[in-house]
Amino acid sequence: MAQPWYKKLHWQIITGLVLGLVFGIVAAAQGWSAFTSAWIAPWGQIFLRLLLLIAVPLVLASLITGVASLSDMKKLSRIGGKTIAIYMATTVVALIIGLVLVNVMKPGASVPQDMREKLETTFAEQAESGMETAARAAERGPLDPLVDMVPGNVFLAASNNRNMLQIVFFAIFAGIALLMIPKEKARPLLDFFDSLNDMIIKMVEIIMLAAPVGVFALMADTITSIAGDDLAQILELLGALGFYCIVVLLGLILHTTLTYGSMMLLLTPRSIKEFVRALTPVQLVAFSTSSSGATLPVTMERVEKELGVSEEVSSFVLPLGATINMDGTGLYQAVAAVFIAQTIGMDLDLSAQLTIVFTAVLASIGTAAVPGAGIIMLVIILESVGVPSAGIALILGVDRILDMCRTVTNVTGDATVATVVAASEGELEDLPAMA
Ligand code: ASP
C-alpha cells in the first residue's frame, strides 16, 4: 500500500523547515532570540553533530572499501579520471553561468553609495578576520595546497572535519595498497571496513528520523541569529543586496535544473521525477546545515537506495565530490567577485574573468565542506584579480542565506556525477518499483 504523504521523509523535513522558518521570523519579531538560542538551537546542534560525528569514519570506510573493491588499478584510474574530469567540467560550466549572469544583470550597479558605506562599516570587523585567514593561506608557496593534502599523522587528520581532503588521500592510498596485496591478506581489513560502512549507514537511517526536528531547530536558529531581535534590519539588508542575491540564486537554479537535469536525462536512465524524489531530503539537509560534509552520509544513503548507484561507485565518487566538487560555491564566488568589483566601480576585463574561472576551480577543491568556507576562499579569488578583499564586507550580511543555497547545488552536483559515472560503468542497479 502506498504511504500517506505525511509519512514520507521529505515532506516531514519540508514541514520542519517551513515551521522553523515561520518560528524564526515570529521569534525575531517578538524578541525571542535569547529563548531560541537557549532552548531551540541546541536540538539543531545535536542533529548537526550527529551527522558530523559519522562523516570521518564514513569517508574512511567507504573510500577504502570503494577503492579496494574496484578489482584492479585500471578500473580505479578509469573511474577516478572520469570522476575528476566531470567534476571539473561541471564546475567550469557553473562558473560560466555565474559570470554571464553577473555581467549581463550588473547587480553591483544598483547599490546606492550610502548603503555601500554602511555595509562596509557594519561588517568591517568580520571582513577583517576572514581576510586574515585567507591572507595566511595566500602567503604560502604554490605547492603548499598539495603538501596540505598529505597528512603527517592520520589520527590528527581524522580529528578535524576540515581535514577531509587528508582523509580522502589516506583512504584512497590505503585502498590502493589493499588492492595490491594478496586477496587473503586484504580480506580481514576489507571485512572490517565493510562492516563499519554498514554500521554507519544504519546510523544515518536512525539520525534521519530526527531530521524534521533538527531542520526545524537549525532554521529557527539561523533566522534569529541573522536578524537578532530586529527584523527590520534584515529587510533593509535584503533591500540593498536583494538583486545580488537574485543573481546568485538564479545562477544556482539554472545550473541545478539545466546542467544537472540534462546530465541526468541524457546520460542516465533515471527520470527527473526519480531524481527529484531521491534528492529532495538530501537538498533539504544541505540547505539547513549549510555543509556538504555533514550532508554526505545522507547523500550516500539516498544515491544508493533511491537512484540505484552501486556502492562501489558511490563510495568512491561521493566522498571525493563532497570534498573537491563545489559548483554552487564556485558560481557564487564568480558572481560575488564581479559584484564587489562593480559596486566599487572597478572594471574586470575578460582576462580577469578567466583568472576568476581558473582560481575558482582550484579554490573549490580546497574549500572545506563546512558552513562559510566559500567566502574565505573568495578572498583569495579577489586578490588574484586585484579587487580589494575588504570588499567581502559588502556581502557578508547575506552570506549565510546564500551559503545554504549554494550547498544545495554542491550536493546535487555530487549526486548527479555519481549517477552519471555509475551509468557509464554499467553500475546502476534497477530501482524497486515506485510506491
Ligand atoms: N557550505 C558549503 C558546503 O559545505 C561551502 C561554502 O560554500 O561555504 O558545501
pLDDT tens, per residue, the chain with 435 residues: 567 767 777 788 889 988 998 998 899 888 888 999 999 999 999 998 998 888 888 888 888 988 887 777 888 889 999 999 999 999 999 999 999 999 999 998 877 777 777 777 767 766 676 667 666 666 667 777 788 889 999 999 888 877 778 888 999 899 999 989 998 999 999 999 989 988 988 888 898 889 899 989 988 988 888 777 667 767 777 777 889 999 999 999 999 999 999 999 999 999 999 999 999 999 999 999 999 989 999 999 999 999 999 988 998 899 999 988 999 999 999 999 999 998 888 888 899 999 999 989 888 887 888 888 888 888 888 888 888 888 888 888 788 889 999 999 999 999 999 999 999 999 898 876 554
> Distance from the CA of 375 to the center of ligand 1, in angstroms?
9
Separation of alpha carbons 256 and 283, rounded Å? 11
Ligand 1 contact, 329 CB (< 6 A): yes
Backbone angles phi, psi at 59, to 5 degrees: -60, -45
Separation of alpha carbons 207 and 290, rounded Å? 17
Query: Ligand 1: which residue has its CA nearest to atom 1?
Result: 371
Best residue among 164, 255, 290 to mutate for probing ligand 1, ranked by most atoms within 8 Å of CB: 290
User: Which class for 156: exposed (0-12), middle (13-18), buried (19 or more C-beta within 10 A)?
Assistant: exposed
Structure confidence at residue 174 (pLDDT)? 93
pTM: 0.86
Separation of alpha carbons 276 and 328, rounded Å? 18
Ligand 1 contact, 372 CB (< 6 A): yes
Q: Which three cell numbers stand for residue 166?
A: 587528508
Structure confidence at residue 239 (pLDDT)? 75
Ligand 1 contact, 48 CB (< 6 A): no
User: How many CA within 13 A on the CB side of residue 417?
Assistant: 30
For 8-424, CATH gives 1.10.3860.10
> Distance from the CA of 236 to the center of ligand 1, in angstroms?
25
**Atom nearest to 294 CA in ligand 1:** 4
In contact, 156 and 314? CB cutoff 8 Å: no
Structure confidence at residue 379 (pLDDT)? 85
Ligand 1 contact, 334 CB (< 6 A): no
Structure confidence at residue 126 (pLDDT)? 66
Ligand 1 contact, 374 CB (< 6 A): yes
> Distance from the CA of 305 to the center of ligand 1, in angstroms?
25
Structure confidence at residue 433 (pLDDT)? 59
Best residue among 329, 396, 398 to mutate for probing ligand 1, ranked by most atoms within 8 Å of CB: 329
Question: How many beta carbons lie within 10 A of that of residue 52, not counting itself?
Answer: 17
In contact, 10 and 285? CB cutoff 8 Å: no
> Distance from the CA of 369 to the center of ligand 1, in angstroms?
5
**Atom nearest to 322 CA in ligand 1:** 9
Q: Which three cell numbers stand for residue 299?
A: 547523500
Give domain limits for the chain.
8-424
Residue the block writes with cell 591478506: 185
In contact, 60 and 175? CB cutoff 8 Å: no
Task: Give one DSSP letter per residue of 205-218, joined into a string.
Answer: HHHHHTHHHHHHHH
In contact, 355 and 307? CB cutoff 8 Å: no
Q: Which three cell numbers stand for residue 192?
A: 572490517
Query: Ligand 1: which residue has its CA nearest to atom 6?
Result: 374
Structure confidence at residue 125 (pLDDT)? 67
Q: Which residues pair with 428 in a beta bridge?
A: 309
Ligand 1 contact, 378 CB (< 6 A): no
Task: Give one DSSP letter per residue of 127-175, joined into a string.
Answer: HHHHHHHHHHHHTS-TTHHHHHHS-S-HHHHHT-GGGHHHHHHHHHHHH
Separation of alpha carbons 165 and 366, rounded Å? 8
Ligand 1 contact, 406 CB (< 6 A): yes
